[in-house]
Structure 1
């Protein structure tokens, strides 16, 4: 067994019902934020974090995601013939980003089930899980930050952020004891707690560094709400048997699986865009001034 993290599991099998009708024929992960699909931001974070392979957990109707990261002879030939060198370099960059393999999740039985489907591909080594709905804008990639914490504590790590107390019911919440700045040894996991059942507001977001022992925990996890196998339940088993840590990462997280979060991400990444940022900022000022009238 190695403690090097080389692989990232990215579940993309969801139906994207919160974005219907836009996602009726297009995977939600292919909805664009400024000039690239959401899934590309996720894969670029994985690459920038030093990982070598992405394992997509897919379902029927998701082939566009795999095609996006594949080599396209026809498109590259067309761009080369037309002298569109900038676009050609961008297309080639996408296909050369990282090795991508796919695993099919045959039934929609939850995030835990999706992760369990990757066991034979992940093998006997630690790995990252990165959810395609969660974008993190950070100077140092979130997964890279978490790799450092994992190397220090030697056990599974979940990314957390503080949320308003009135919103804790929307998240998996961790209670824990601080062991270093921003790092907590988890003592309790509560999935979408009812008001008044916890004082913690540390919410789990879609970034995990897991040890291979999680697969045994997932096999022993019975279906929960909605008949789904919850990753949170398996993490609680792992916590009790080996230990689990939470890391309060540096950066701004956007829930791109929510319409409002998607709009927030679009504005943020548009403002940071090297070509469009200045013009977009000026446009926003014009809009805000007009609203004052």
Structure 2
């Protein structure tokens, strides 16, 4: 089956709420019954103590893989847990067909510790461009959706990122040190400047939502995994914000970005963050 941009646009005009329903059902069936109920044998480490995976991650991704490909025949899923098992599956993001980019539990550390600050992220991309996204924080019962060119909403209410208040310190969420190279650490030190307040990021998807709703001024992230960024970056864009890499270019979900990068409430803020990361003032 050939799926082109017209097919995707038609799909999004008719089936956006069906995707939302699939995400909600995955969370209800596989994630929330395990929230604050995980046994030790249901939690594993992938690359280290800050990179966890649980039965909820695996089973929710399996649920979404089946549900999303059934909704859009000819599509494939690139999910965090499937890529961990077989890294070659990530290459589908760079292909020409429709790809669902899925993070079943974004913020697994928070989930494991019984903190409600986690979410499920789904994005639909075609030819390397994200066309729509779904961000669901089930423990908070918040659902945000974005469709390229049609805006972003949170629980049905339009999202607008706005601009930071002039003269107020910028609030920026930054990468966890475990996921940065030495060069990236040196760049991030540039954010330790007058007029900037930084803190370590939690769930990337919820940090993007905070930017989109104007509660956080910017992020500064140093890793490229598309499942962490695809949904949130479109949410920020459609709310009026923007994103830039260290090279001053928009972040590409297909990879090859100059890191770190920022997502911000407006272009002026994004450019200020990039300037600080590159040694400006």
Is the radius of gyration larger for structure 1 or structure 2? Answer: 1
- Same-fold call, TM > 0.5? no
Q: Which has the bigger relative contact order, CA under 8 A and spacing at least 6?
A: 1
Relative to the length of structure 1, the TM-score reads: 0.26
TM-score by structure 2 length?
0.26
